[in-house]
Structure 1
Amino acid sequence: MQQVKKGDTVKVHYHGKLTDGTTFDSSEGREPLEFEVGSGMVIQGFDNGVLGLTAGEKRTVHIPVDQAYGPKRDDLFMEFPLDRFPADLTPEKGMVLNMSNGEGQQMPVVITDVREDVVVLDANPPLAGQDLVFDIELVEIKGGSPLIIMP
């Protein structure tokens, strides 16, 4: 049977959990996730976790922080002046907002603290600093991109 190798395009069903068992994402009720193995489309630990699987095979993969979203970075915490928030918005700890980075790209941020004149925002990915566990089922191996050899 064909086993997954780097460069293959695969379809998988998955159930993502934190180490305490809390579910953060699942493909249940949706189409399988399709990606090219080794292309950087998914986190490194997930990429590595499908290598060697055959169609229909299931595996549980434990992914450490450094192969997931990395540790929380202090440089991604920022203070934002309270008076720059819209008048109709009352910032609260835990609130998720979308900010623009000045180049038109949107990024989610979480309010971690509301002080007298500033709001502390966390722009780290929501799963940064977490070890992750994925139950993965390989649905299909579609094969890699065709290799073209020129003379």
Structure 2
Amino acid sequence: MSEITSGSQVSLHYTGTLDDGTVFDTSQDKEPLNFTVGQGQVIPGFENAVMGMNEGEDKEFTVPPEEGYGQQRDEMLLKAAKDELPEGVQVGSVLRSSVNGQEMFFSVVEADGDDFILDGNHPLAGKSLTFAITIVKVS
């Protein structure tokens, strides 16, 4: 059996939950997640947790924000005038924009008079993420 090391091609099924038990993502009833260990294709805490595992092995682990999507950053909160945004924008909308040549997504989190508050943090920033995984294949 092949043990997962840096450079391994890994195929696995996973379910990710938040502290309150809410499922935020899963590969169940879909194709397994495929990635190469050490290539930065998944969050660092996830990659670290699979190291040393073998095909057929199950594991549950929690990734702290620092090894996931980072902490919430106040500088990622922006105020934008309603008339500067596309028509029909409301709280809960997600906007795409290019910032310094990099594509970013902003969630509209609050209406404040003639302005909206936009949040450019990743939706899972600041959260501990618990994963239940099953290794399908290692090569």
Q: 1: distance between equivalents of 2:21 and 2:94?
A: 23
CA distance in 2, matches of 1:12, 1:83: 46
Mapped partners of 1:141, 1:94: distance in 2:
40
SS at match of 2:2: coil
CA distance in 2, matches of 1:43, 1:102: 23
C-alpha displacement at 1:78, in angstroms? 0.8
Instruction: Name the structure 2 match of 1:141.
Output: 138
1:72-91 mapped onto 2 (5 Å cutoff): 72-86=72-86, 88-89=87-88, 91=89
3-state SS in 2 of match to 1:119:
strand
Match of 1:14 in 2: 14
After superposition, where does 1:95-114 map in structure 2 within 5 Å? 95-101=93-99, 103=101, 105-114=102-111
Instruction: Give the structure-1-normalised TM-score.
Output: 0.86
Task: Report the RMSD for the aligned CA atoms in angstroms.
Answer: 1.4
Q: CA deviation at 1:99?
A: 2.4
Take 1:79 and 1:131, find their aligned partners in 2: how far apart are those partners?
Answer: 27
Unaligned stretches of 5+ in structure 2? Answer: none
2:92 pairs with 1:94? yes
Aligned to 1:46: 46
- With the length of structure 2 as denominator, give the TM-score of the two structures: 0.93
